[in-house]
Amino acid sequence: MYKSILFVFSLFLVFSSNIKAQYTMPTLNYGYADLEPYIDAQTMEIHFSKHHQAYLNNLNNAVGNTLTGSIPLEELLITAEKRGAAVQNNGGGHYNHSLFWNILSPTPKTAPTGNLSVAITEYLHSTDSLKRLMNAEASKRFGSGWVWLYVTPYKTLAVSSTANQDNPIMDAAGNKRGIPILGIDVWEHAYYLKYQNKRGDYLTSIWNVIDWEAVEKNYAEALKSPILKLIEKDNWVELKEFHKVMAQTFHPMQAGKFDPIKTRSKEMADKAKLLKESNIPASFQTDDIKKALKKLAEEAKELDKIISKKAKDDEVRASLNKLHDTFHLIQGLCNH
């Protein structure tokens, strides 16, 4: 009896620890005063222990009662906009600040070398022009936001700025997506106590504490990261459009409701054709995927045909199941 109570209790612990949010504060590798005179101690303390802590708490509250809390933060951010403002703002706030603390140092490496230096020269001309570009983007950013150096899904480097706590990983970043390797916080809370309204002075100053060794490490990790492919896939509009119709027709059919598929089979066939003819993102251009897309278009057309001939529910179910399997085959191939 005692053992079975213990067993149930440990099961409870396992489940509740899965459900509990798991995002935590990073460790700061330096003291609040160590970045002076470029960033003052009071700003650092409030920024880290109040602002960042609040983003983290709010993120954990937002995902705390769902299994979402066990998803790696980057994966959560890919679909941040879809997950709602609490995840978008606080998930972004937590991610962005964690990156920011890490690329700052009281004893920074003052210039990039190696692969990163080569890539900066190739895509942004020089480190000086990169700094000018980032500072210009930051000065143009109206209100609060961030400016980024990021690795695109095509493994090139690019500069962008985003509003609020958005970042390039997010769906909210439109066609400027990738993995950030250097970010500058241009919220007033990052500089107002020392620089007041002079954002330009803060921007000039901050380069003195940006540690290129940390940026180089981020660059090497970004190039290897599976997140780049996930972003590329998430930006494949035709795939997403097809997926939407599939989800909105397949799941009702599983619950015995055939109306959605019967009224939308033509739309699904059209979306499958558009998907087949779409620009397949570079990393998904394999013969297997092309073959599966062709199969998907044929099967969707066939399903539409049998529905227009008033087929029985069983026939519709079999045909939609087959189409659903083919779609998952494509999804699976994309994840390799």
User: Residues in the site for Mn ion, rule: CB under 5 A?
Assistant: 185, 187, 190
Minimum CB distance to Mn ion smaller for 49 or for 110: 49
In angstroms, the CA 278 to CA 319 distance is 24
Q: What is the closest distance, in whole angstroms, from the C-beta atom of residue 20 to Mn ion in the complex?
A: 26
In angstroms, the CA 81 to CA 86 distance is 9
* Cα–chain center distance at 160: 15
Q: What is the closest distance, in whole angstroms, from the C-beta atom of residue 150 to Mn ion in the complex?
A: 18
Minimum CB distance to Mn ion smaller for 198 or for 312: 198
Q: What is the closest distance, in whole angstroms, from the C-beta atom of residue 216 to Mn ion in the complex?
A: 23
Q: What is the closest distance, in whole angstroms, from the C-beta atom of residue 211 to Mn ion in the complex?
A: 18
Q: What is the closest distance, in whole angstroms, from the C-beta atom of residue 21 to Mn ion in the complex?
A: 21
Minimum CB distance to Mn ion smaller for 88 or for 319: 88
Q: What is the closest distance, in whole angstroms, from the C-beta atom of residue 98 to Mn ion in the complex?
A: 11
Minimum CB distance to Mn ion smaller for 151 or for 190: 190
Other Cβ atoms less than 10 A from the Cβ of 3: the count is: 7
Minimum CB distance to Mn ion smaller for 98 or for 117: 98
Q: What is the closest distance, in whole angstroms, from the C-beta atom of residue 222 to Mn ion in the complex?
A: 22
Minimum CB distance to Mn ion smaller for 143 or for 256: 143
Q: What is the closest distance, in whole angstroms, from the C-beta atom of residue 96 to Mn ion in the complex?
A: 7
Residue nearest to Mn ion (CB): 185
Minimum CB distance to Mn ion smaller for 187 or for 327: 187
**Per-residue three-class SS string for the chain:** CHHHHHHHHHHHHHHHHHHCCCCCCCCCCCCCCCCCCCCCHHHHHHHHHHHHHHHHHHHHHHHCCCHHHHCCHHHHHHCHHHHCHHHHHHHHHHHHHHHHHHHECCCCCCCCCHHHHHHHHHHHCCHHHHHHHHHHHHHHCCCCEEEEEEECCCCCEEEEEEECCCCCCCHHHCCCCCEEEEEEECCHHHCHHHHCCCHHHHHHHHHHHECHHHHHHHHHHHHHCCHHHHHHHHCCHHHHHHHHHHHHHHHHHHCCCCHHHHHHHHHHHHHHHHHHHCCCCHHHCCHHHHHHHHHHHHHHHHHHHHHHCCCCHHHHHHHHHHHHHHHHHHHHHHCC
Minimum CB distance to Mn ion smaller for 52 or for 264: 52
